[in-house]
Amino acid sequence: MSENLRIERGWIFVNGTRQDDGTIELGTGGEMRFSPFEAMAQRQDTQITWGHILTASVQRLAFWRR
């Protein structure tokens, strides 16, 4: 899963695109960006773990504290 997901400055980037039925197809080369809050709702489709959400949340707090 790590090749389909990265976290930068509190955003979770997923390598995938949204299909017509609303699901997300991973590994298509498209890039989708989720805030930690949005990621909680999309966890099942994107295989984002709570660890990813926590990491992005901490990065977001540290980034905005500067």
Residue 41 has pLDDT above 60, yes or no: yes
Residue among 65, 60, 48, 45 nearest 8 (CA): 60
Distance CA 34, CA 32 (A): 7
pTM check: above 0.85 = no
Residue 36 or residue 23, greater confidence = 36
Domain count, the chain: 1
Domain span including residue 12? 2-65
Residue 43 has pLDDT above 90, yes or no: no
Going by pLDDT thresholds of 50, 70 and 90, the confidence category of residue 2 is low
Would you state the pLDDT for residue 66?
60
Would you state the pLDDT for residue 45?
76
